Structure 1
Amino acid sequence: MVYEERNVWAGLIVSILVIPAYIVIILQQAAGRPVETIDWFPLMLWTIGIGIVATIVVSVVWGIVAGARDPEGVGKSDIRDRDISRMGTRVEQSFLVLAGLGVILLCAIGADVFWIANTMFAGFAVSAVVGGVARAIAYRRGLV
């Protein structure tokens, strides 16, 4: 497994753990009260920060283990990695555009900041997961 593919898998693993944790905590706080009263901002920042740090840690640890097993191929990449990265970025951007349009719509109807921020957060989350899955599939099956 090449360096970029390990990073894709690290991001997917962390995203699949961190995003549901955020949702569960928000739902627990929402029990019995309006969601607009939830103090979501610090939780969202912590979730994003923990996700970034955890992805870096998983990537580094996985890289160290891979480097011990195959010192020659640790950081190698080629044109295929670049093409897969571009394809994954295009997939991610499409979901970010949809989230952005959702945010604009929510702003237009005067929705609470909770809904606007969480719509954008959901867009980032879906974008990261779907883009990562697209990249992982491309690494396993190739680009068509």
Structure 2
Amino acid sequence: MSFMEKINLAALAGGVLALGWYLVRVVPQIGQVPLDEIAWKWPMAIAMGIFIVLLVISAVRMAISDPAVRKADGIIDDERDRDIERRGDAWGGHAMHAVGFAALVMLVLDVHSFWIAQTLFVGGMLAGVVSIGVKLFAYRGEV
């Protein structure tokens, strides 16, 4: 398994954990309290922090333990890795464009800012999952 594939697996795990943590705190409030009173801003910020911290810790641990990273030449990816990253990022970008478009439509329709924020955050996380999913399938030769 290449270093970049390991990084993508770590990003997927961290993203799923952070999103799950966030949803467990916010979803139960929907329908129970008015939208203006739902506590979502700090949990969203904390979820982003959780994701970043988990990704950094995972990357450092993998870099320390991966012999290819410790080599003096510093080459941790090859042409295949770069092609897979490019393809996955393109698909993730397409998904994020759809999320952004949905948020713009919601703004035009005067949808409550809570729902717009949720669309951007959850949609952004899911766009990341799409990106990583394409990369992981490509590493297995299925894309």
**TM-score relative to the length of structure 1:** 0.87
**Partners of 1:60 and 1:74 in 2: how far apart?**
15
- The structure with more helix, counted as a fraction of residues: 1
Aligned counterpart, 1:141: 141
The residue matched to 1:20 in structure 2 has which SS? helix
Structure 1 contact 12–129 (Cα < 8 Å) conserved? yes
The code of the aligned residue for 1:64 comes to I
Structure 1 contact 88–134 (Cα < 8 Å) conserved? yes
Structure 1 contact 14–55 (Cα < 8 Å) conserved? yes
Aligned counterpart, 1:61: 61
**Partners of 2:62 and 2:5 in 1: how far apart?**
11
Structure 1 contact 22–47 (Cα < 8 Å) conserved? yes
The residue matched to 2:140 in structure 1 has which SS? helix
* 1:18 is the counterpart of 2:21: no
**Partners of 1:129 and 1:117 in 2: how far apart?**
18
**Partners of 2:23 and 2:69 in 1: how far apart?**
39
Q: How many residue pairs end up in the alignment?
A: 142
**Partners of 2:34 and 2:27 in 1: how far apart?**
11
The residue matched to 2:11 in structure 1 has which SS? helix
Aligned counterpart, 1:77: 77
Structure 2 contact 84–139 (Cα < 8 Å) conserved? yes
RMSD of equivalent CA atoms = 2.2
Aligned counterpart, 1:37: 37
* 1:122 is the counterpart of 2:127: no
Structure 1 contact 84–139 (Cα < 8 Å) conserved? yes
Displacement of 1:35 after TM fit?
A: 3.2
The code of the aligned residue for 1:87 comes to R
The code of the aligned residue for 1:54 comes to L
Structure 2 contact 91–130 (Cα < 8 Å) conserved? yes
What fraction of aligned residue pairs are identical, expressed as a percent? 27
Aligned counterpart, 1:90: 90
Structure 1 stretches of 5 or more lacking a match?
Answer: none
